[in-house]
Structures are given as C-alpha cells and as structure tokens.
Amino acid sequence: MTKPQLVARIAKSAGITRKAAAAVLAAVTREVREALSDEKGKIRISELGTFKVIELAPRRGVNPRTGQEMTIPAMKLPRFYPAKSLKHAVQGMK
C-alpha cells in the first residue's frame, strides 16, 4: 500500500477529507519520529505495537567492493515490535 492509498483509506474510514487525513498521517509520523529521537526512544501504540530505538555496538565488517576489513561505527536504529493482536490479524486468527 502506498501513502496516497493509506490516506484515502483513513479519509474514508474516519469520514474526513483526504487533505485532513494526510495532515493526520503527517502528524502521527512526525510525533513518532520525535518520540523516538528523545531520551527514552520508545513509543507504544496498543493494538499496533512498539517502536523502539536500539543501539548497535561498533563491529568489524568487510567492504564488499574491495574485500578490505573495516570498522562499522556504533549506531542507533529504529525497530518495530508488533502487538500480539496485530500478529494474529496478519495470520488470520481472531
């Protein structure tokens, strides 16, 4: 599903215009991004799941082009952990 398709579905489901639905989606996306970038780096949405920031330690790697060993720097990455209800919905369970 693309963003315009999601906006259309939100608009139809909520009984609002596509412009309002696009604004809602943009606001939710912005707030999730800001919540993940703060100190705690975690947001939980019941029935959907948890967005969380994980920290990866620096590690050794190999440059695939040159075959040279290199150090991959430490980094923070977002992760999504689905709620049980979402897992069941995807699997077709009730």
pLDDT of residue 44: 93
Written as one string, the DSSP assignment of 26-85 is HHHHHHHHHHHHSSS-EEEETTTEEEEEEEEPPEEEE-TTT--EEEEPPEEEEEEEE-HH
Mean pLDDT by 10 residues, the chain (94 residues): 96 96 96 88 92 95 94 95 94 80
Residues 82, 48 contacting (CB under 8 angstroms): yes
We find that the CATH architecture of domain 41-94 is Irregular (4.10)
Domain regions of the chain by residue span: 1-37, 41-94
Q: What is the pTM of this model?
A: 0.74
C-alpha of 2 from chain center: 15
